[in-house]
Amino acid sequence: MRLSITLLLAVVVAFLGVGGSSAEAGWEEALDTLVAAPDDADRASLIADVLDYAPSWQEVATRIQSTTFPAMDSVGQTVLRTTVCIDTVERPWVLQIPPDYDPSVPTPLLVVLHGGVGSAEVHDDPLGHVAESEQGALALEHGWISVFPFGQAGATWFDEVGMTNIRNLVRTVKCELNVDDDRVWMAGFSDGASAGFAHAMLEPSDYAAFVALNGHMGVASLDGDFPTYAPNMSATPIFATTTFDDGLYPSHKMRRSIEMAREAGADIYYREFPGGHDFDDVKDELPAVARFLERHPRDPFPTRIVWEAGSTDFGECRWFAIDRITTVEPAQWHEDHNVALTNDRVTIGFQPDYEFEGTGISVGVLSDGDYPARNIGLQAGDVIVKADDARMDSLPNLNEWKATVERGDAFEMTVLRDGESVILRGALPDAAAYLIFKRDVPSAMIRAGFAANRIDVQTSRVGAFRILVHPDMIVLDQNLVIVADGEVVFDELVEPDLEFLIDNYLKNRDRSLLFVAEVVVDLQ
């Protein structure tokens, strides 16, 4: 095994000025500017200013951890704001600050994700949505800050645009408000719940727990093409529910995926209830949700991590990161956890035009993919007035008709197109089996743990990995020993790196995870 260790430049330099302090602490102003501004254009020069004064890493860490936050004029208010996403589109988001928010006290943060994220348009009344949100009311009741991103097709919770937006909003709020880094939670219903499962498997480091009410853990893989793995849900606990007659994700199907995930080590608290795909059927669980969240602060330095990644973009969990994935045979213990379900849901494949006020169902946007809507020639602007012999006066009529047909059935729709009546005929696709997680790429997997300045790692298909070092994990004046697959690959002192500490903090805005250095191990 060839070892390549990268330790970023050690910069802990003794620099004593008047009274024994670091050059009269001239670095503090530059650091405070960095901490206060989420995207300072002069970031590089400000970091250089701090490094020129050469404070100790302890001084800088203490300064960051003792950041003071200004009083907010919007305490007790729900504020509509906008953000420009990475696709250059401006989208709304809502910040809700509880009435008893105290800027001197770290406060929990709840990220609330809405359902129906694949709609063509962003929600037209974000403040109205939040005012009616039971999860937002829960946050206010318990004195938590809450943030509500708003997504749409092209910026869903399962694509790069939407996921980056969530990540950036969390960091924006952390810049402005005194957020308790170890009590940041994500909650959602339907698509928002599926996003909770996705974040638990892809990038959980920001979060202490997830709430997934009537979601599907495979959506990020099936719809977002992300490589997701059930063992990763061992890192962060999840509160999940399903309902018996849910037309999208019924209990009898989702139960199988929950059982599979638990066998893989997932930490899922799971409950089933009567009802359909309606938040009202699970809202009585919100008091239990609050108790669950408050019982689950984040462990920033878990002594054991199990992590699997099909992309190094999602190779990091807490203090460990997979940096390179190989194509060699996997280790014997590296097992693929998956489950096959049957897709017998009746889906036509279009988004209705919710602004349409006439009789019938106006077609807004056709869904991408091999759906019946495209196969029968349905077009945007068509108004559906009949399905088989059933009148289609409104969307509830369509749902009622869908309950009477099955996959494989022939059907016809009568639509009004440019004032003319047109009959469209076709068939629903046959029921088909599918795996809830796609398997298009090889994955790497690790089992890692630390104790007494020693980190032991079992690897499978891992070409290189990184250890993020924190003084609460190891004693810095003793050698850190890293053992990979039974072989010592590192046995040295780890020198804290001030530039790394600052840069990593600005990237993550996490005062609990102030890593002081990283060790990179190349196994090839």
pLDDT digits (tens, 9 = 90+) for 103-117: 999 999 999 999 999
Let me know: does 143 contact 107? Beta carbons within 8 Å.
yes
Last residue of a domain, one of 430, 455, 480: 430
- Are residues 43 and 83 part of one domain? no
- Decide if 344 is inside a domain: no
- Are residues 373 and 403 part of one domain? yes
CATH number at 210 reads 3.40.50.1820
Identify the burial level of 333 via C-beta atoms within 10 angstroms of its C-beta, where 0-12 means exposed, 13-18 middle and 19 or more buried: exposed
- Are residues 90 and 11 part of one domain? no
Question: What domain range is 516 assigned to?
Answer: 1-67+300-338+436-524
- Are residues 423 and 484 part of one domain? no
Last residue of a domain, one of 430, 452, 484: 430
pLDDT for 342 equals 87
- Are residues 172 and 287 part of one domain? yes
- Are residues 488 and 364 part of one domain? no
- Decide if 251 is inside a domain: yes
CATH number at 369 reads 2.30.42.10
- Decide if 343 is inside a domain: no
- Are residues 174 and 279 part of one domain? yes
- Decide if 105 is inside a domain: yes
- Are residues 492 and 417 part of one domain? no
- Decide if 483 is inside a domain: yes
Domain count of the fold of the chain = 3
- Are residues 135 and 247 part of one domain? yes
- Decide if 420 is inside a domain: yes
- Are residues 113 and 206 part of one domain? yes
Percent of the chain with pLDDT over 90: 80
- How far apart, in whole angstroms, are the C-alpha atoms of residue 241 and residue 268? 10
- Are residues 199 and 106 part of one domain? yes
- Are residues 133 and 231 part of one domain? yes
Q: Kindly state the tokens that stand for 488.
A: 């010592």
Q: How far is CA 265 from the centre of its chain?
A: 19
Q: Tokens 């790692």 identify what position? A: 457
**Would you give per-residue pLDDT tens digits along the chain (524 residues)?**
434 433 333 333 333 333 334 444 689 998 998 888 777 668 888 999 999 999 999 999 999 999 999 998 888 999 999 999 999 999 999 999 999 999 999 999 999 999 999 888 899 899 999 999 999 999 999 999 999 999 998 999 999 999 999 999 999 999 999 999 999 999 999 999 999 999 999 999 999 999 999 999 999 999 999 999 999 999 999 999 999 999 889 999 999 999 999 999 999 999 999 999 999 999 999 999 999 999 999 999 999 999 999 999 999 999 999 999 999 999 999 999 999 998 888 889 888 887 888 899 999 888 877 889 999 999 999 999 999 999 999 888 998 898 899 889 999 999 999 989 999 999 999 888 999 999 999 999 999 999 999 999 999 999 999 999 999 999 999 999 999 999 999 999 999 999 999 999 999 999 999 999 999 999 98
Helix (H, G, I), strand (E, B) or coil at 510: coil
**Helix/strand number for the chain, H first, E second:** 13, 26
- Decide if 110 is inside a domain: yes
- Decide if 141 is inside a domain: yes
Kind of pairing between the strands at 480-484 and 454-460? parallel
Last residue of a domain, one of 412, 430, 448: 430
